[in-house]
Amino acid sequence: MRQKPEPVQVVKQRRDAALNALVHGVPYINYLGIEFDRRGDELTAVMPFDDKLIGNPMLPALHGGAISGFLEVAAVIGLSWAVIWDEMERGELDMNELIQGHLPRLPKTIDFTIDYLRSGKPRDAYARAQVNRSGRRYASVHVEAWQDNRDRAFAQATGHFLMPPRAKD
Amino acid sequence: MLAALWDTCSKKKTRNTGASWECRMVDKAKVAAQFIQAIPHSRELGMNLTEIGDGTAEIVMPYDERFVGDPETGVIHGGAVSALMDTCCGAAAMSHPASPSLTATIDLRIDYMRPATPGQAITTRAECYHITRSVAFVRAVAVDEDEDRPVATASGAFTVQGIK
């Protein structure tokens, strides 16, 4: 007989708890104030505007470093989330471990290249990562960030990452 | 990132549009001290401009637990290192004698060679190795206390903007 699907709130709670543990376990992400919106497995990173993110007070404009930090966070979390999602769906993820703050090993950045397309306005910023390749050892991720208008990206980046060794290896 | 030098230079420049060299006369130590103060994000990350030359700059960022990227090891997040690289490269671009001291990052690539040792400050040295009327080409190296093994390198292109 086919197993009855789990109630929606149970599934949602598990996914949100996993994401929450992943994101809020990293001090730098909390420092920048970045949060993630989740719709199914799709994540949107949100960096609410804050004065400490300013690089040029005269324009004013966001600091290039704050922008690249935001994009790198979006890329690393996007990549980890893709891996965690699969493990979670297969029932291989130890949720208690995760919620107690034992994060899975995060991918390590090998290189990261940022294009600054427009100056970052003093507003909230959003970013989405696309994992173009995620192999056993290496991954390639592209990120786009925008502010008021989704079609007018103000920065984009590509990064390569070294994947953490899997538990099974 | 452009704010501080521009601050120091602007008064002289507005009176003296043709002579963009005027601001070179300003005391470099004073510029260095004001530089980070005028960039909120760099100031927040605790950066300190320790050297500024003709197209070169050195910035130190002390270890700070708030900027940790891997809670298990205490290693600083790559994002904080890129903010440091970006600021230092921008400072080098602006300090070049042929630059009218306004700049913005066009692109920046960072290679992460190894994790910075937790507890140690990160020092970045940047050099503007070529400049045209429109673009400054800059490269940088970041080290911790083990100066022979770089933590990261960066290379990028920056705009060269005059004051109109």
Q: Which of B41, B155, B159 is the best residue to mutate to test the A interface, defined by the most A CB atoms within 10 Å of its own CB?
A: B41
Nearest-CB residue to B86 (from A65, A105, A113): A65
Q: Mapping DSSP to helix (H, G, I), strand (E, B) and coil, where does residue B139 land?
A: strand
State the pLDDT at residue B162. 66
Q: Which residues of A touch B112 (CB under 8 A)?
A: 108-112
**Peptide bond preceding B118 in cis form (omega within 30 of 0):** no
Q: What whole-number distance in Å separates Cα of residue A90 and Cα of residue A85?
A: 9
- Kindly report the number of other CB atoms within 10 A of residue A168's CB atom: 5
CB-CB contact of B85 with B140 (8 Å): yes
To the nearest whole Å, the CA of B18 is away from the closest chain A CA by 23
Q: Which of A109, A115, A121 is the best residue to mutate to test the B interface, defined by the most B CB atoms within 10 Å of its own CB?
A: A109
- Mind listing the pLDDT tens digit for each residue in A110-143? 999 999 999 999 999 999 999 999 999 999 999 9
Nearest-CB residue to A111 (from B86, B107, B110): B110
Query: Cβ B70–A73 below 8 Å, yes or no?
Result: no
**Neighbouring residues of B122: CB distance < 8 A, sequence distance ≥ 6:** B60, B61, B63, B76, B81, B84, B116, B142, B143, B144, B151
The yes-or-no verdict on residue A160 having pLDDT over 60 is: yes
Q: How many CA atoms lie within 13 A of A169 on its CB side?
A: 6
- For residue B45, name the pLDDT band (cuts at 50, 70, 90): very high
Nearest-CB residue to B104 (from A54, A113, A116): A116
Cα radius of gyration (chain A): 17
ipTM associated with this complex: 0.90
- Mind listing the pLDDT tens digit for each residue in B124-139? 999 999 999 999 999 9
